[in-house]
Structure 1
Amino acid sequence: FNAIPQGVKFLVDLRADLLRFLPEDPLLKPLDRELEARLTAWFDVGFLELQRITWGSPAALLEKLVQYEAVHEIRSWDDLKNRLDSDRRCYAFFHPRMPLEPLIFVQVALLENMADDVQRLLDIEAPLADVGKATTAIFYSISATQAGLRGVSFGNFLLKRVVDDLKRDFPRLRTFATLSPIPGLVRWAERNPEELAEAITPADWKRLRTLGLADLDAAPLAGLLGGDSSWSGDPALADALRDPLLRLTARYLLEARRGDRPVDSVARFHLGNGARVERLNWLADTSTKGLRQSWGVMVNYLYDPDSIE
């Protein structure tokens, strides 16, 4: 298959189909293990090519970015152009046998300070940043594109290679951090409602009662665990919820575990690659998706460039 045109892509897609049926048919597990082992060997990082994607890249490749973007939907060509502008960078890993298929890609913003608001970061009307003054590289979206390569890890190698490229091109860069979503936060809180109750201190309750909210059954508090975002339209209520929800978020990221690893998939990736939780950002993603999955909270993971694993 490695020598057949489209043979490697065929096996990647075959495993993607296989993974969909695996929960229903355990007898497929040996075949899945065999395919995963074969693909892990073929997609060793030594075989992968790092490429920068620009607005001048082939249109077919740009369409792939729009199709595969998994973190912040690319809504228009203007949106995509903004993400590829002079104060931004986009890098992807490619395999020689799949030259038009980015395997994983990362989007980077070059800034003077650590970002705390993704809507501001993605605003197509915002003026260009002066990259000559940039001291901070913000990784704000990392998207793996091939379901059939689940379990084949190369995201950490992508970050390491990109950091090396950025340091070479922009010697003033000193800070390498993310602005990351927290996709499992509300879902975890819904399964563990006692965590929200514990996160609200007597001082928080005193403030909430001034807004007419006496307990967690009072609307709109009752909808918090279901992803209801109506509270975000009330500045006084949003301000009163800030401390307890940030407290709950910190507990989720730092203490919620599945075995010895973080429950949150994004935290698992970055903390496993040597980053640390640097800062929580309140109402940093006020999109419908952001409010539903994490009450709009985002996190900066900070990397030591010399310690990326």
Structure 2
Amino acid sequence: MNIATEVIQRGKRNWSRLPKVLGLTRKGKEMTPEGALVQADAKTLREQIEACIAQRGGPVSSSQQAARLAEDYSQWDEAGKRRFLALLLDDFDFNEAQVQEALQAAGNVTGEELRNACQALRKALVPARAELLRRWTLLPAGVKFLVDMRRDVFALMREEPRFKPLSTDLKEMLSSLFNVGILQLQSISWNSPAALLEKLIAYEAVHEIESWEDLKHRLNVDRRCFAFFHPNMPNEPLIFIEVALHKGVADNVQKLLDTSAPALKPSDADTAVFYSISNTQKGLGGIPFGGFLIKQVVDRLRHDVPNIRKFITLSPIPGFRKWMEGEGGLEMLKGLDPKKLAAAAPGLSAPENFAEYLAGLDWEHPESMSEDFKMLLKGLCVRYLGEAKRGNNPTALDPVAHFHLNNGARIEQINWVANVTPRGLRESFGLMVNYRYKLERIEKHHEDYLHRGVVYTSSAVKALRTKSPAAKTRS
């Protein structure tokens, strides 16, 4: 019998005791505070955590303590969780005196003694709470528990940035647990369990799934859906990607999601369109495995549908409008030829008034706008994707652009009136972009982007950048 099984069998009867220590009581499945955490209660809780970390009573007893803490944490309200997380942050960090001692020892020796001193320093820098986090990973549902705990820490950090070290500790632990080598790629179809299909509807973050009919359309014969799963979270997709088998480049998401459109025979398709990638677990933020998902999906599609020759995305541009209406867009507009800008945007009195000018346009009928204005906005979009950076970092400011460029894609095409939903107009004036994964160039594109900030584009995008009214005239 392993430790986790014995914990479940022997520990459940004690899981209800810890809330009293935190000054919390049960109401059904909820916990409500009965006042502030007093010093005596904090002392008792601290002693229980210390006993768990020190393995007093042996590994089984320590795992029982960890299981009780996890079970009760999951039942507390936000105030109770914050008290507990604050205790972990403040009272179970690294020992400053030990770190100082190890630093001094490392500064006065050489050779073998220096190596030993560095080992001692490494050990001293590990916070005491790390052992409790490790204990939680041994529980049957411990991995999911840590993911949800980091989600809670993220929520606290919005108001209290001091919780960042705890988030970092959790990220380090989760990064080792979510090594892409142990993640499992699964295909999701209309015949998958209903509970899993419901999660797809709930987690879809790019294009909302409006009904079961909509979902069925997205899982039709000319569609594919793939997700990564962790062995310890078999019923929770970590990230999923929706793919349309298409003839040619898809340039409009409304057409792609039209439930009345007839299905295409997979044998007639020549292009795989990745039109939605959704992360489902907020607690895994900053732990990258989306790029590995794309690569594995490409390999699967090449095997299953060998007539597919092109792999592209139909992607949103979530930061474009905000950037154009802010300082970044203003600086770019000031660098344009005033005559070309006036011709493309008649009635615009000055670059400073561009946001007001955009607000006055008829965005319910963007297809009716002039070709010059369309070229202006598409050219500005190309420059935004390629030139707007994260401060001094050479990587793209737009998060979706960064994701695909970092994975080795190039900018293939800018599409007008591609997403005229309120969200699409709000984020990018309805523009969308195709990124293309050219299999033989992925590694080079990735390396050049990562190390030098190089953004590769198609010849059509290069032409748009130079011929558009948005072409740069002065630096």
Scaled by the length of structure 1, the TM-score of the pair is 0.92
Counterpart in the other structure of 1:63: 198
The alpha carbon displacement at 1:27 in A equals 3.3
Kept in 2, the 8 Å contact 1:115–1:121? The answer is: yes
Kept in 1, the 8 Å contact 2:366–2:417? The answer is: no
Q: Is 1:129 the equivalent of 2:261? A: no
SS of equivalent to 1:180: coil
Kept in 2, the 8 Å contact 1:72–1:141? The answer is: yes
Counterpart in the other structure of 1:301: 435
Counterpart in the other structure of 2:342: 205
Distance 1:282 1:234 in 2: 8
Q: Could you say if the C-alpha distance between residues 214 and 305 of structure 1 is closer, same or farther in structure 2, counting changes exceeding 3 Å?
A: closer
Counterpart in the other structure of 1:116: 251
What fraction of aligned residue pairs are identical, expressed as a percent? 48
Q: Could you say if the C-alpha distance between residues 94 and 157 of structure 1 is closer, same or farther in structure 2, counting changes exceeding 3 Å?
A: same
SS of equivalent to 1:231: coil
Distance 1:229 1:79 in 2: 32
SS of equivalent to 1:205: helix
Greater mean deviation of Cα atoms: 172-181 or 19-28: 19-28
Match of 1:31 among 166, 180, 193: 166
The alpha carbon displacement at 1:4 in A equals 1.8
Output the amino acid matched with 2:412: E
The alpha carbon displacement at 1:220 in A equals 9.6
Counterpart in the other structure of 2:468: none
Counterpart in the other structure of 2:319: 184
Counterpart in the other structure of 2:400: 266
C-alpha RMSD of matched pairs (Å)? 2.2
SS of equivalent to 1:181: coil
Which stretches of structure 1, 4 residues or more, deviate above 6 A after TM superposition?
217-221
Q: Could you say if the C-alpha distance between residues 2 and 184 of structure 1 is closer, same or farther in structure 2, counting changes exceeding 3 Å?
A: same
Kept in 2, the 8 Å contact 1:136–1:177? The answer is: yes
Counterpart in the other structure of 1:9: 144
Kept in 1, the 8 Å contact 2:348–2:357? The answer is: no
Counterpart in the other structure of 1:175: 310
Q: Could you say if the C-alpha distance between residues 204 and 145 of structure 1 is closer, same or farther in structure 2, counting changes exceeding 3 Å?
A: same
Match of 2:375 among 234, 243, 247: 243
Output the amino acid matched with 2:339: P
Distance 1:276 1:217 in 2: 30
Counterpart in the other structure of 1:282: 416
Question: Deviation string for 1:266-307 (max 9, x for gaps)?
Answer: 000000011000111111111111011001111110102242
The alpha carbon displacement at 1:26 in A equals 3.6
The alpha carbon displacement at 1:21 in A equals 1.1
Question: Deviation string for 1:43-95 (max 9, x for gaps)?
Answer: 11111110000001111100100111010010111111000000000000001
Kept in 2, the 8 Å contact 1:201–1:244? The answer is: no
Kept in 2, the 8 Å contact 1:199–1:245? The answer is: no
The alpha carbon displacement at 1:166 in A equals 0.1
Distance 1:166 1:128 in 2: 18
SS of equivalent to 1:260: strand
Distance 2:420 2:277 in 1: 19
Give ranges in structure 1 of 5+ residues lacking alignment: none
**Which of the pair is proportionally richer in helix?**
2
Q: Could you say if the C-alpha distance between residues 15 and 238 of structure 1 is closer, same or farther in structure 2, counting changes exceeding 3 Å?
A: farther
Scaled by the length of structure 2, the TM-score of the pair is 0.61
Q: Could you say if the C-alpha distance between residues 234 and 94 of structure 1 is closer, same or farther in structure 2, counting changes exceeding 3 Å?
A: closer
Q: Which has the larger radius of gyration?
A: 2
Output the amino acid matched with 1:63: E
Output the amino acid matched with 2:259: I
Q: Is 1:49 the equivalent of 2:184? A: yes
Kept in 2, the 8 Å contact 1:118–1:285? The answer is: yes
Q: Could you say if the C-alpha distance between residues 240 and 23 of structure 1 is closer, same or farther in structure 2, counting changes exceeding 3 Å?
A: same
The alpha carbon displacement at 1:199 in A equals 5.3
Output the amino acid matched with 2:151: A
Q: Could you say if the C-alpha distance between residues 8 and 214 of structure 1 is closer, same or farther in structure 2, counting changes exceeding 3 Å?
A: closer
Question: Deviation string for 1:113-140 (max 9, x for gaps)?
Answer: 0100000000000011121011100000
Output the amino acid matched with 1:186: R
SS of equivalent to 2:137: coil
Q: Could you say if the C-alpha distance between residues 265 and 208 of structure 1 is closer, same or farther in structure 2, counting changes exceeding 3 Å?
A: closer
Output the amino acid matched with 1:287: T
Distance 2:354 2:166 in 1: 49
SS of equivalent to 1:9: helix
SS of equivalent to 2:418: coil
- The alignment covers a number of residue pairs equal to 304
Output the amino acid matched with 1:299: V
Distance 1:71 1:229 in 2: 26
The alpha carbon displacement at 1:236 in A equals 3.8
Distance 2:212 2:268 in 1: 27
SS of equivalent to 1:230: coil
Output the amino acid matched with 1:164: D
The alpha carbon displacement at 1:197 in A equals 5.4
